[in-house]
Amino acid sequence: MMSHKGSTDDHHSPDFKSTSSLTGQSVILLLMMKRLSIRNYVLIDQLDLDFDPGLTIVTGETGAGKSILLGALGLILGDRAESGVQADESQKAVIEGVFDIREYALTHFFSENELEYNDELILRREILPQGRSRAFINDSPASLQVVKELGRKLIDVHQQFDQLDVLDEQFQLNMLDALANQVQIVQNYTKDFHLWKQNISRLHQWQADQASTEQERDFLQFQVDELIAAGLREGENEELEAEARTLRHATEIRQVLEEAQTMIRQMEGSPLDQLEVLSRAFGPLRNAHQRVDQLAERLDGLRIELEDLAGEMESIAEEVEADPGRLTEVEARLNAINKLLLKHHLSDTNALLLHQESLIQRLNNLDGRAEEIEKLASETKRQEKELMLQAEQISQTRKDVAGPFIRQVMNRLADLGMASIDLIMELDDTGQLTASGQNKVRFLMAQQNGARMVTVKQAASGGEMSRLTLVIKSVVAAAIPLRVWYLTRSMPVFQGLCP
């Protein structure tokens, strides 16, 4: 078991050194890692490593434990965990790493993945006894996919045949931008580019929806026109239904009312006549008995009320008239309103009027969308023009530094026995905007001056590619925040880069 804090005295354990006095066949260079803690992992019971700022190198012979450290490092960077990696299988294994990421422009990554950003990043991986594992970013649970994506931005494991970085077009552009001191400019451009792409996507979606929108607009306009043409009034259907009922029964209403008022006032022995007789009979007794007087007053009230009732019957009878023409008009109007009510699944004209206002508002909104599409189209054109200007400036700056960069790389390659190598970096302006500008990069190589230039991938051998990779990264080390490196080249190559 290994149980260490900082460095170790074990003859077979890794050593932590500066760039001088290096021995061994492989080294680990830690550039921005602050701390690595390992608990219950493989042969390690407990290990806490604190690293000073700058370059730290871990050396050791085969079997010293460098691969275990790299395995632990890989776990916090998203590698899949194998079963049985715990030193004590009844306990969980915990690996935690602390990184200083101030110079790595990762705030956008954390924002996209809804993670809390701190300049000091803590990655933790727990391997449970049951075989399951959990990953954490700044103490927040995270998926392995997100951890792995973040790990690629932090760690560079470099071996003899691991040259993906320098052959990657995006890395080459980032490298030139760092050398040209325009990283922030490109980041601002990238942010504007993504906003432009979002607007383009939104514009295309709106334009794709425009056909169906036009159909919807035509339908809404038809409905609005139909309701406006109907000229509805509040409470109209209730009024018309009442009038229609009166017109349908006008004759019966008039006949009954005329007969009723005649019976009350004009027939011999009518109720009014009888009440008049009773009223006169009670007259002499009004002061004789209090309750009799009250009865007499009630009789007077009945007579007056009956007279008023008969008069109102007569008035209504005179007003009610059978009018077949008007009945036809009312029923036609009711039919028209009822059709609209049935069509819109509503109950009265008040609801129809509210629905009419709602349709008008929706129609106005659709008209507003057409204006929004026009404004957005104009805005995307303005953004594209501005992005093209930015991309042209970025491209020119890259071209200005590409030549000196290549010459510096070739000078260092000459120190490593590759003086005959000829390199060029071509930057073409495609005129097509991307997240990194408008450049297409071609990294070409010839084995000797005057030979035909081909891509570096085609021309370089494994050893040449390894040395070229290390030279390039050493050249840009002062300008771009390099990640953790793991080297498996022999020490003379390394010493050539770090005199």
Q: What is the CATH number of domain 1-157?
A: 3.40.50
Cβ–Cβ contacts within 10 Å for residue 188, how many?
12
- Tokens representing 164 are 């993906």
Using alpha carbons only, what angle is made at residue 354 by residues 352 and 355, rounded to the nearest 5 degrees?
60
What does the pLDDT read at residue 63?
Answer: 56
What does the pLDDT read at residue 481?
Answer: 57
SS3 category, 150: helix
- Tokens representing 149 are 């994506």
pLDDT digits (tens, 9 = 90+) for 115-156: 889 999 999 999 998 878 899 999 999 999 999 988 888 776
What does the pLDDT read at residue 39?
Answer: 92
Classify residue 251 by burial, with Cβ atoms within 10 Å: 0-12, 13-18, 19+: exposed
What does the pLDDT read at residue 23?
Answer: 36
What does the pLDDT read at residue 9?
Answer: 36
User: DSSP assignment, residue 231?
Assistant: T
Question: What are the residue boundaries of the structural domains of the chain, listed by start?
Answer: 1-157, 236-347
User: How much is the pTM?
Assistant: 0.49
- Tokens representing 321 are 């008239």
- Tokens representing 88 are 């004590």
What angle do the packed helices 324-343 and 236-248 form, to 10 degrees? 140
What does the pLDDT read at residue 160?
Answer: 40
What does the pLDDT read at residue 69?
Answer: 82
Residues of the chain under the 50 pLDDT cut: 1-29, 159-163, 484-499
- Tokens representing 465 are 């590619």
